[in-house]
Each structure stands twice: as structure tokens, then as C-alpha cells.
Amino acid sequence: MSGRDPFCQPRRSRSGAGLTLVFVGVLVAGAATGSLPGHERGSAASAHRAVPVPSAPVGPPAPGSAPGPSDPDSAAASAHRSSSPVSPSEQVARAAAEAMAAGKSPVEAAEHAVSRSGDRWGAVYSPGDYEEFQDALDGRYTGVGLWARRARDGRIDVTEVQTGSPAADAGIRAGDRLRSVDGETVDGRPVTDVVSLLRGDADDAPAGTSVTLGLQRGSRTWTRTLRRARLSTDSVSVRRLSDGTTVIRITAFTKGAGDKVRTAVRGAPARSGIVLDLRGNSGGLVTEAVTTASAFLDGGLVATYDVDGSQRALHAEPGGDTTRPLVALVDGGTMSAAELLTGALKDRGRALVVGSRTFGKGSVQMPTRLPDGSVAELTVGHYRTPAGRSVDGHGITPDLDAGTDPLSRARTVLTGLGDPS
């Protein structure tokens, strides 16, 4: 895909709370699809089934729908609501409803309300944007099929090219330098801005539209025009090293990722170690992160989280592989649901964590459907690791630094962990 993570924020004309294109992946992803458990753990089926956000619009009551004197329960509830503080989500919904009634844009009104709330991760999505979000959770996206990262000197390097994508057909390779997109120089720009240009976010560019890339390989420079396409990506890849080590890389927790990890663990050679590569993983469906944790744990706590002051817990399923040596490889791009998984494996003593401090995104967002069908998502709480540590704003500190060659470092650590038998 265009960029290093599939949870780039869906296309929008405005940024609500000032977010750029880094998407909130993460607990909001689970909430948005109805996959976050409540006070009780849901079934595996319900955890993996996409459930739409309730479609009933939020706004003024319809004529004749207001409670009257003959309805004491409703009247009491109404009195309680009027005396209770108005929540940020209610404020946003109210602003959108009032704007719609006045013939103004409810989305713009909601975005202004989100911005005023100071919610760093709050956002407002049009119905189309939200549909695109759902596609991203299913592993579908519009782009040219390349991943990129910014080097320390500010240059933008291609790190991976998807097989069969427009970028692959154009002969672009990992290691190439991306110099410009549609004539705009990208050196020194955040990767999220580069992603936006590649996707054509400013113009809501659909599949079939063209984008011109300026590239460099060694001393050779050239330009190539590609056409964006609807692509799908496998967020889990597995490879076996010469020493028998199995490397499982998870780029995002899209639907089915957890089961793929379980299959990979079961298929790994006996008594061999596993490197769980979570570098650059921006999050995704929390249920998939919990399923992944279940591949390495025999039940027990994965994380706790609060929603408007109500404490809840996420648990692993029993029966995971608890003996095989395991190293989790992380970096500053490891965030959200990936941090939730890392924290669980670290606190439960199941894995050694190698790399650099993770991003520090540990907040919970919940969706509210607005009168025009758009969706506002606001922070309602935060999650903690099994040891009670907060991730938000802090990240997770690894057990060992990655050094100059993270994968080699991880393999060395695995050797020190020894034979699980």
C-alpha cells in the first residue's frame, strides 16, 4: 500500500482535532466494528463479525417524542440528563444537529467541536470515509502498492513493494529513493504527508487516477507515472531463517491476522524460537491482537481498559504455546493494539522485547453516528498492561536495545533463551 501502515486516516477535507494521516487504529478499530467486549467476554464469532455503528441519528427528538407528564420514568431520566454534565460526544452530536437544522455543514460543525475539545485523537468521518476505514480493517485499500519510511537524513526510502501492484509493475524496488510525488518534493516531510500525496487524499482520488513519482536508484534518477488501484494486503507474513527461527511479521491487525499467527506458531519447527516482528505496526482490531496473544499464552489477562470510568478487561484464550522461546521486535512505529500485545507478552513474562521505545498510543475511542450519517470518534478512556502500566504518552520500553541490526539482535537473544525442552 502507499505508506508503511494500512490504517492511514480515511480521506477527509479537514482534520478535526488536528490529526494528520496517522490513523487511530487500535481500540477505536475494535469499537467501530462492534468487536470490543463489554463487561463480559463475547464469543469468537461476535468478536470477528463487523457490526455497523447504530444508525439512529443523534439530534433533537421528533415531534411528539418528548416525554410528557404521564411518563414519570422518562421524565426522571430527562431531568437527570439535564442536570448531568454534557459529555464531549454529546456536545459534538449537538453541534452537528444544530448545524444541520440551520442548513449548515454538520461535519464541519462536528469537527470544530472536536477541535475545541482538545482531544488529540478525536476525529470526524464522512460516511464514505468511514466505509474506507472499514475496508482498511478488511485489508483493502486504494494506492500504488509501496511502503516507505523516512531516513534520519530526511530522505524517503521505499522499504517494500507489493507483488502485482502498480509499483511492482513499474519496476520500483525496495531501497529506491522516493524524491517527489506529482512534482512535490518529499524529502524531509513526514511519511504521513507522503502517504497522503500517494493516495491523492486532497482530491479523493479513486482507483484509476494517475500519480507521478520521482525516483532514484544509486546515481540514476527517473520519473514514472502509475495508476492507483484497489489492492488487498496480507498483514501477516512468515519466513523461516537458516537456523530454524521463524519470523512472524505483523504490519497491522486486520481481520484474520490473529488466526494466521496461530497457524504460523503451530507450523514452526519443534524447539525453534520465534521472532514476532511488530515494527511499524500501527494497530488495528483489538480482537485480533488478543487472538495473537492467545497464540502464546494459556489464558489470563491481556489488558484492562476503561470506558467512561467503567473498568473492563481483555483475556487470552487458553491453550497457547507457552514454552517456545519468543522475542518481540518493536520500534517507535509500534503503536496502539501492537503496544497492547507487546505489553501483555512483556508483563506476563512470555517474551523478551527488543528494539526501541514504542509510540505510546493507549487511548480508547468510541464512535457516535451524527445526523447526516457521518461518524465522530472521541476518546473515552485508556488501557493498561497486565501490570497496570499506562501506555498512553509513555510507550513501552524494551528489555534490550536493538543495536544496528535488530533482527540479528533478536536471533542472538533467542539463542540465549535456550531450548524450550
Cβ density class 228-237: b for 16+ within 10 Å, e for less: bbebebebbe
> What length is written for the chain?
421
**Residue from 336, 346, 363, 374 carrying the catalytic annotation:** 336
Contact criterion met (CB below 8 Å) for 22 and 134: no
346 is catalytic: no
**Residue from 294, 361, 363, 374 carrying the catalytic annotation:** 361
Cβ density class 60-78: b for 16+ within 10 Å, e for less: eeeeeeeeeeeeeeeeeee
**Phi/psi at 401 (nearest 5 deg)?**
-70, 150
The residues, any chain, with a CB within 8 Å of residue 69's CB and separated by 6 or more, are 75
Q: For residue 296, what are the CA distances in angstroms to 211, 321, 337, 346?
A: 43, 5, 16, 12
Q: Which of 353, 243, 244 is nearest to 296 (CA)?
A: 353
Cβ density class 328-353: b for 16+ within 10 Å, e for less: bbbbebbbbbbbbbbbbbbbbebbbb
In angstroms, the CA 238 to CA 242 distance is 14
Return the C-alpha cell found at 102. Answer: 440551520
Return the C-alpha cell found at 157. Answer: 526510502
Instruction: Identify the burial level of 376 via C-beta atoms within 10 angstroms of its C-beta, where 0-12 means exposed, 13-18 middle and 19 or more buried.
Output: buried
> How many other CB atoms sit within 10 Å of the CB of residue 418?
10
β-strand pairing of 300-307 with 375-384: antiparallel
Q: Which residue has the cell 541490526?
A: 405
104 is catalytic: no
Question: Which sequence positions are flagged as catalytic?
Answer: 336, 361
